[in-house]
Amino acid sequence: MTDKEIEEGNQLMLQFEKRGGLLPVVVQDVHTKQILMLAYVNSEALQKTLETGLATFWSTSRNELWTKGMTSGNTMKISAVLIDCDQDALVYLVEPRGGACHTKNENGEARKSCFYRQISEEGYLAFLE
């Protein structure tokens, strides 16, 4: 396979081998465009995502498949799967049902996004509104 085939062709040639069998996935709310989380998929997780329409990942901490929301109820329905030019990174455009993050806010609710802090000018973490 050539770079031209990967970059300009219409054949799915995902480059799982580049990163030890995993591809990074940016998860974005299809309506608000907010970045919700970053996760990883192997070929099995991607196949399950495409078959079920629910965001499924490879848990790097537990070394197992993980369909978001199966225990919390905070599922992510897939609207589209985007592939970058090198076919080695994905974006899941999703319709989230509940929070995306496993952490909770001060009210005990799952945070809508895992990206809830930013680096301040002083170099500290500041919570986003």
Whether 100 contacts 114, CB under 8 Å: yes
Task: Give the mean model confidence (pLDDT) for residues 37-45.
Answer: 97
Sequence spans of domains, the chain: 3-102
Whether 116 contacts 127, CB under 8 Å: yes
| Torsion, Cα of 56, 61, 64, 66 (10° steps) | -20
CATH topology of domain 3-102: Ubiquitin-like (UB roll) (3.10.20)
Confidence of residue 19 (pLDDT cuts 50, 70, 90): confident
Task: Give the mean model confidence (pLDDT) for residues 17-42.
Answer: 96
Global pTM? 0.91
